[in-house]
Structure 1
Amino acid sequence: HSGHDANIAALATKLTGNKPTLVRQKTYLTSRIKPFSTNYLADQVVVPSSGMKRAMLAGGCRDEKIEVVAPGFDFATLHAQSELPLPVSLQCWLEAGTSPVIVQVGMLRGEKGHYTVLAALAALKQSGHAFRYLIVGDGPEYKVINAMIARYGLQDNVLMAGKLFPAAAVYRHADLVLMPSRNESFGMALVEAMYFGVPVMASDVGGIPDVIRHQENGVLLPCDDVAAWQNAIADFLMHPAPYRQRARHASDDVMLRYSIDACVKKIIALAYKEPTPAFAATP
């Protein structure tokens, strides 16, 4: 996740006169965008989504330097991983109830939106809805999230499963997968869930709209809007059939768009692309 290696390689090629095509991969953005290395060091910078590209352009990066290439998924391996056994404690929790299982996979950080979901679920529980919420992942917000679960009285509804790798087997038990993030460069867990035909809901931020087309293969919602998430989840719990129908079509869609072959072809094409002059004038 560091740009130092790419920058050093770029400087070495310029200083030695050895000029292979240099393609840098950038998978996330820091709080401050530094356009110099993108504009003048690498021939191309590959980013996972158009949302990330837009953010870089707004930060002063040149359009012709940035190519969007979504990650490639090994769906055969993902399928095999889904057959692996889950931890006994998790398997017992899943088998102990019959309520729909809502899953969120990812790091436990403030920007991942667990607080929004917990607030929405607390309101749904008060309204009489039955559900279980499975949180897969670990991170610095573990204690805060755990305390919030207790504060909302959701101990019987929520399980914090901790870090689980691979997590593919979880999707076999999921009725709905959520990604309520405030920022997300792509959304790997969404593609995985969609491959397994699980309905998905996610925030309309960053690269997520590249993956989800609202009401076609999933649902997009405003981040941090508890009422919007509450209403959307309630609608799923009461009327799951149309969500499941969309999810079945989404499986074929992601296999076509995010295969390893599709990714590799785009990367190879970059090697034959006419390089942009390193110090061309910026408009």
Structure 2
Amino acid sequence: MNILQALFFPPEQPGGVSSMVPYILERFKKRGWEMDLFSIPRRIRGKGTEEVKFSTFDWRIYAGNSIVDKYIQTYKDYIWWTKLRLNKSYDLIHAHHPIAALAMKQLYPETPVIMTIHSSFERELILNGKIEENGPEHLFLISLYREIEASVDQIITVSNSFKYYMGEYVQDVERIGVIPNGFDEKRFRPVSHDNQVTQFITVCRLVPAKGLDTLLLACGELKRRGHPFVLHIIGDGPSRHELEQLAVSQNIYEETIFYGYMLHPEEFMPFFDIFVLPSRAEAFGSVFAEAALCWLALIGTEVGGIAEQIDHGSNGLLVPVGDYHALSLAMEKLIIDPTFRHALARGAWDKAKKTYSLNRVIQQLKGVYEVYQATSE
């Protein structure tokens, strides 16, 4: 059986779907499966000219909005690049982005296409202040869920919460399967250490949706209550300057280290104590599983896939979104009670090892693929 894994952009960096799929492909190839990886280079811009038509809605009513126009042009570019680069047929296509899924189904109408939806692009844009809720860009993006449902043969997503979020926009939510992200445990090597001052770490893109303003406000409270700590922030993005200014105003700039982008943060994380990320939305939250495999205690928010990964008080702590006081109390609890902190870290590692291993994902995907293999024979 010949399978194509269709990404959007190339797998250039760790964290998220683009880094996970190559590991999946490698594991399947070791088991004798024939599998290719495809994506569009970031440098491809404005090449596609083919007319775009969807079967469930007329996208042209949203034309003239920059995000919609960019999305449609990228779709055209993906079609152009696929026609230029792919010259063989496949028994099954597994797409990991709406553009990839819809483009592949347009070009290979007789080939089964599976689509894994990994995140909510529209929620991120709203939370990051890029689009208005119920504005034309938002309406366009949520309309794509119904188009995907009508076009592809099977939909998979990464958490139950995101499955039911999508339920608002599709006709049959029970058609959607759930396979959480999986991680190659060999990449994560916990390190025995004893930090005299508690070391917090977060890894994310620096955008409003990740809630780092809440984190810095919580750290300001911690310092005012006399708790020593260091906060390590790995990642970059448009909010960096604003966050640095907030750290200054909270008098915690000396306790906060902004590293910028780092290629392999999983090599760095094991030396710290607590992973904390107060996201405002998260379909899955891969970095929590990665931190758990590094044997860190976890603090997250009661949203999406985070709340499915963290069992409050057992393998981490959950706080309400945007509540910096509650977050500061959770952080304080783990500073003053290292025994509890170590117990949470052990619980997080144990759950991640059992639930989010790459082997588990391979077995679940193998079951999905074999259904199509049987029908193609």
Offset at residue 173 of structure 1 (A): 1.7
The residue matched to 2:156 in structure 1 has which SS?
Answer: strand
Retained in 2: the 8 A contact 1:38–1:61? no
Which of 201, 204, 208 is 2:306 aligned to? 208
Structure 1 segment 181-260 matched on structure 2, within 5 A: 181-260=279-358
In the aligned structure 2, how far is the partner of 1:120 from the partner of 1:212? 20
Offset at residue 118 of structure 1 (A): 0.8
Q: Does 1:33 align with 2:142?
A: yes
Retained in 2: the 8 A contact 1:38–1:65? no
Instruction: Find the counterpart in structure 2 of residue 43 from structure 1.
Output: 153
Residue type at the aligned position of 1:72: G
In the aligned structure 2, how far is the partner of 1:176 from the partner of 1:3? 35
The residue matched to 1:268 in structure 2 has which SS?
Answer: helix
Q: 1:161 to 1:61 in 2, by over 3 A?
A: farther
Instruction: Find the counterpart in structure 2 of residue 100 from structure 1.
Output: 198
Instruction: Find the counterpart in structure 1 of residue 99 from structure 2.
Output: 4
Structure 1 segment 86-165 matched on structure 2, within 5 A: 98-165=196-263
Retained in 1: the 8 A contact 2:98–2:148? no
The residue matched to 2:188 in structure 1 has which SS?
Answer: helix
Residue type at the aligned position of 2:117: K
TM-score of the pair, normalised by structure 2:
0.64
Offset at residue 77 of structure 1 (A): 2.5
Offset at residue 38 of structure 1 (A): 2.9
Which of 260, 270, 273 is 1:175 aligned to? 273
In the aligned structure 1, how far is the partner of 2:205 from the partner of 2:171? 29
Retained in 2: the 8 A contact 1:44–1:270? no
Offset at residue 59 of structure 1 (A): 2.3
RMSD: 2.1
In the aligned structure 2, how far is the partner of 1:261 from the partner of 1:273? 19
Q: 1:128 to 1:46 in 2, by over 3 A?
A: same
In the aligned structure 1, how far is the partner of 2:349 from the partner of 2:188? 13
Offset at residue 272 of structure 1 (A): 4.2
| Stretch of structure 1 that moved more, 224-233 or 165-174 | 165-174
Residue type at the aligned position of 1:33: I
Q: Does 1:67 align with 2:177?
A: yes
Percent identical among aligned pairs is: 23
In the aligned structure 1, how far is the partner of 2:239 from the partner of 2:227? 27
Offset at residue 130 of structure 1 (A): 0.7
Q: Deviations over 1:138-193 (max 9, x none)?
A: 00101000111111111211100111110012222211100100011111111111
Instruction: Find the counterpart in structure 1 of residue 45 from structure 2.
Output: none
Offset at residue 61 of structure 1 (A): 4.5
In the aligned structure 2, how far is the partner of 1:236 from the partner of 1:187? 21
In the aligned structure 1, how far is the partner of 2:187 from the partner of 2:331? 31
In the aligned structure 2, how far is the partner of 1:164 from the partner of 1:75? 20
Which of 3, 11, 22 is 2:113 aligned to? 22
In the aligned structure 1, how far is the partner of 2:187 from the partner of 2:335? 31
In the aligned structure 1, how far is the partner of 2:322 from the partner of 2:256? 20
Which sections of structure 2, spanning at least 5 residues, go unmatched? 1-7, 9-96, 123-140, 373-377
Retained in 1: the 8 A contact 2:215–2:277? no
Offset at residue 5 of structure 1 (A): 2.2
Retained in 2: the 8 A contact 1:124–1:234? yes
Q: Deviations over 1:80-134 (max 9, x none)?
A: xx79xxxxxxxxxxx9x84110111110001111111111111111111111111
The residue matched to 1:140 in structure 2 has which SS?
Answer: coil
In the aligned structure 2, how far is the partner of 1:52 from the partner of 1:154? 35
Residue type at the aligned position of 1:7: L
